[in-house]
Amino acid sequence: MQDEMNHSWDPFLTDRDKAVFKASGFGATGGFGKRPAILVIDINYAFTGERREPILESIKHWSNSCGEDAWDALPHVQKLLEAGRSKGLPVIYTTGVRRPDGWDGGSWLWKNSRGGERKQTRDTQARDGNEINELIAPHPQDIMVYKQKPSGFAGTPLLSYLTLLRADSVIVVGTTTSGCVRATVIDAFSHNFRVAVMEEGCFDRSQASHAINLCDMHAKYADVVSTDTVVDFIDSLPDGLFAATAPQAAE
Amino acid sequence: MTPDRFEDHCWKDAVPQDLIDLYAPYARETFVGPKPALLCIDFYNIVYRGGAKPPLEIQDEHPNTCGMYAHASIEPTKKLIAAARMAGVPIFYCTQDFRPMNRPAGVGSTKRQKVAWKKEDFDIYEPLAPQEGDVVIYKQRASIFQGTPIISHLNYLGVQSLIVCGESTSGCVRASCVDAYSNGFHVSLVEECTFDRHELIHKINLFDLHHKYVDVMHLDEVVQHLGSFSEGKVAAE
C-alpha cells in the first residue's frame, strides 16, 4: 500500500465496487489501541519453503508454500518484531500441530487432494514444516500458540492470553492472507479487539486472494496499514507497557 | 438409575437432610447418552505418588498427591476404560501442556504454590496409559475444553455425549463437567473412578455436579451399559 488513496486491491475492483464502498461507509479508520500484542500467523517452513524460489517450484517440496511472496514479506516482519520488542510488546506466534498419525487433520483432509501427502513430505525432509522460519525465529520471552484450524483463536488459549496480558488490540502479520490471517482477524474483531493488518507482512499463494481479502478486511474488520505506519505507531508507545505480565493488585 | 435412587451416592453421609430436601426439584432419572466418548481427566503420575496413604501424611514429599483416594480408583478405572475399549467408544485423556514457549507467565490450572515440575510428572500413570488410537489433549487450565481443540475432535468423531472420570473432583473434573454441560453434552460422571484429596470436598462437589449439571453414576451401571454396545443391543443411532 503506497498511501491511503492507493490500495493494492484497486486493480481487482470494478467501478461499481469502488462506488459502493465509498457510498456505504465501509473502510473507515478504526485506529490502533493502547496496548497492542503482535500476532505472527503461521510463518513456518511449510508456508515459506526453505529458500526463496518461484512458487510453483517451491510447491513441489511444500504443498502449502507461498513462494517468493513469503520471502518478500519476511524483512517487513523483521522490522515489526524489532520495533515491538524494543517496546516489550507481547509477540505471539501461531503454528500448526498434528499427531504423527495425522488423525487430527480432521476437516483439512476433506478439502485438499495433497493433504495426505503432507506428512510424507515432512518425513522425507530434515525439517518440520511447522518450525518457524529462522529469519523471524521466536525469542525466549515470546509465546507459541499451537493450532489446528485457520483461526489462532480456534481450540487454543489465545483469547485467555490477551485477556491476561490486558491487550486491547492486535497487530497481525503472516499467512495466508485469505486463510489463517483472515480467520484470526475476524475472531479478534469479534472479540472487540482493535485490529491492524500490516499489509507488507502478509502473504498468500494466490495474488488475487491476497488483494481481495485485504480489501474485505480493510472494509469491515481491520485497518490494513503499511509497515512504516505500524513502526511509527509502535515507536510512539510508552516504554514498559507490558512490564507487569501477571495480574497486579489494583492501586 | 430411577429418580427414587437419585441420592444413592457417596455423599449421603455428608449432606444433611434439609439440603437434600432443598434440592428435591433436581431429582430425575440418570443415564448414559447416545454415541458417548470417555474423558479421562488428569490421570497423571503426581497424583498417585506416595502410595495409598492419607494425602496429608505424604503431600510434603509428594505435592498434589491424592494418595489413598487415587489408589482406590485404579481398579475401577481399569474396568471402565476396558469396557469403553470393548465397546469401541473413543477415549480421550488430558494432561498438562509441556510444549515449548506455550504460555505467558501466570497461566496455570489453579492458584496453588508452584512446583518445578518435569514433563514425566505429568505423563499418564502407566496402569491407565493411553493406547494407540486414543487422543491426548494438552491443557493449561482446569477444564479440558478451555483453550483446546477437543470440541472439534468430538464433532469429527460424531460424539454426542460424554462419560467422564478423573481428578480432582473439585478442580479439573468439575470445570470440565460444567463446560461439557454448557457446550451441550449430556455427561455421565463415574463416581468410583473420580477422586480428590479429601472426602468432604469430593462428596460435596459430586453432590453439586449431580444435581445441577451431570448424572453421577455408579461404575457397574456404566459398564453394563457399555457392555450392551458390544453385544449389539444398542442401535447407536
pLDDT in tens, B30-50: 999 999 999 999 999 999 999
Q: For residue range A157-213, list pLDDT tens digits in order.
A: 999 999 999 999 999 999 999 999 999 999 999 999 999 999 999 999 999 999 999
User: What was the pLDDT predicted at A8?
Assistant: 87
Report the residue from B106, B147, B156 with minimal CB separation from A106: B156
Distance from B162 to chain A by nearest Cα, in Å? 19
- Mean pLDDT confidence for A71-91: 98
Residues of chain B in contact with residue A144, where contact means CB-CB under 8 angstroms, are 99-102
Contact status of B104 with chain A (Cβ, < 8 Å): yes
With a cut of 90, say whether residue B188 has pLDDT above it: yes
Which residues in chain B are contacts of A156 at CB distance < 8 A? 147-149
For residue B104, count other CB atoms closer than 10 A to its CB. Answer: 21
CA dist., res. B34 & res. A211, Å (int): 47
pLDDT at A116: 64
Percent of chain B with pLDDT over 70: 97
Beta strands in A52-208 (DSSP E): 91-96, 143-147, 169-175, 194-203
The SS3 call for residue B68 is: helix
Distance from CA of A245 to the nearest CA of B (A): 6
Residue B137 distance to chain A (closest CA, Å): 11
Residues of chain A neighbouring B104 (CB-CB closer than 8 A): 90, 143, 161, 164-165, 245
Distance CA B187, CA B179 (A): 10
Whether residue A143 and residue B101 make contact (CB cut-off 8 A), yes or no, is yes
Of A76-85, B101-110, B131-140, the range with the lowest mean pLDDT is B101-110
B78 in Cβ contact with B38 (< 8 Å): no
What is the set of domains in chain B, with CATH numbers? 3-98+116-230 (3.40.50.850)
- Distance CA(A59)–CA(A50), nearest Å, equals 11
C-alpha cell of residue A222: 481491520
Q: Give every CB contact of residue B131 below 8 A, 6+ residues apart in sequence.
A: B85, B91
Exposure pattern of B6-25 as b/e (b: 16+ CB <10 Å)? bbebbbeeeeeeeebeebee
Residue B101 contacts residue A95 (beta carbons within 8 Å): no
A60-64, A120-124, B165-169 — which is least confidently predicted?
Answer: A120-124
> Are the beta carbons of A143 and B102 separated by less than 8 Å?
yes
Per-residue pLDDT, B231: 64
Q: Give B131 to chain A, closest Cα distance, Å.
A: 13
What is the spatial distance between Cα A63 and Cα A118, in angstroms, rounded to a whole number?
Answer: 7
User: For residue A102, what is the nearest residue in chain B, using CA coordinates?
Assistant: B133
Cβ separation A154–B105 shorter than 8 A = no
Q: How far is A208 from chain B (nearest CA, A)?
A: 30
Nearest CA in chain B to A162: B104
CA distances from A198 to A46, A52, A74, B104 (A): 21, 21, 12, 24
- Here the cell at position A144 is 507459541
Superfamily of domain A33-235: Isochorismatase-like (3.40.50.850)
Q: Among B97, B101, B135, pick the best mutation site for testing chain A contact (most A Cβ within 10 A).
A: B101
Which residues 6+ apart lie within 8 Å of A26 measured at CB? Answer: A219, A220
| Min Cα separation A228/chain B (Å) | 28
Give the span between the Cα atoms of A214 and A195, in whole angstroms. 13
Q: ipTM, 2 decimals? A: 0.85
B146 touches chain A (CB under 8 A): yes
Contact call for B101 and A144, based on CB within 8 A: yes
CB A144 to CB B102 under 8 A?
yes
The nearest CA of chain B is from the CA of A15 a distance in Å of 42
Which of A121-130, A139-148, B122-131 shows the lowest mean pLDDT across its residues?
A121-130
Task: Establish if B137 touches chain A: CB-CB under 8 angstroms.
Answer: no
Phi/psi for B236 (5° steps) reads: -60, -20
The answer to whether A196 and A170 have CB atoms below 8 angstroms apart is yes
Q: Are B8 and B1 in contact (CB under 8 A)?
A: yes
Higher local confidence (pLDDT), B3 or B229:
B3
β-strand partners of B39: B92, B164
Residue whose entry in the numeric block shows the C-alpha cell 525439517? A127
- Identity (one letter) of the amino acid at A186? I
Neighbours of B117 (CB within 10 A): 14
Q: Which three cell numbers stand for residue A93?
A: 506466534
**B139: nearest CA in chain A?**
A157
Residue A247 has pLDDT above 80, yes or no: no
Question: Do A245 and B149 make contact, defined as CB atoms within 8 angstroms?
Answer: no
Beta carbons of B14 and B198 less than 8 angstroms apart: no
What is the distance between the alpha carbons of residues B157 and A125, in angstroms, rounded to a whole number? 31
What is the percent of chain A where pLDDT is above 70? 91
Dist CA A12 CA A4 (whole Å): 17
DSSP designation for B229: H
Contact A62, A79 (CB under 8 A): no
Mark yes or no for CB contact B106/A247 under 8 Å: yes
Q: In what helix (H) or strand (E) does residue A166 lie, and over which residues does it extend? A: none
Report yes or no: B158 at the A interface, CB cutoff 8 Å. no
> What pLDDT is recorded for position A245?
60
Under the banding of pLDDT at 50, 70 and 90, the label for residue B237 is: very low
Cβ contact B101–A158 (<8 Å): no
- Within 13 A of B145's CA, how many CA atoms are on the CB side? 17
Q: Which of A194-198, B163-167, B233-237 has the lowest mean pLDDT?
A: B233-237
Q: Would the CB atoms of A155 and B100 count as touching at under 8 Å?
A: no
A91 pLDDT band, cuts 50/70/90, is very high
B128 and A170 in contact (C-beta within 8 Å)? no
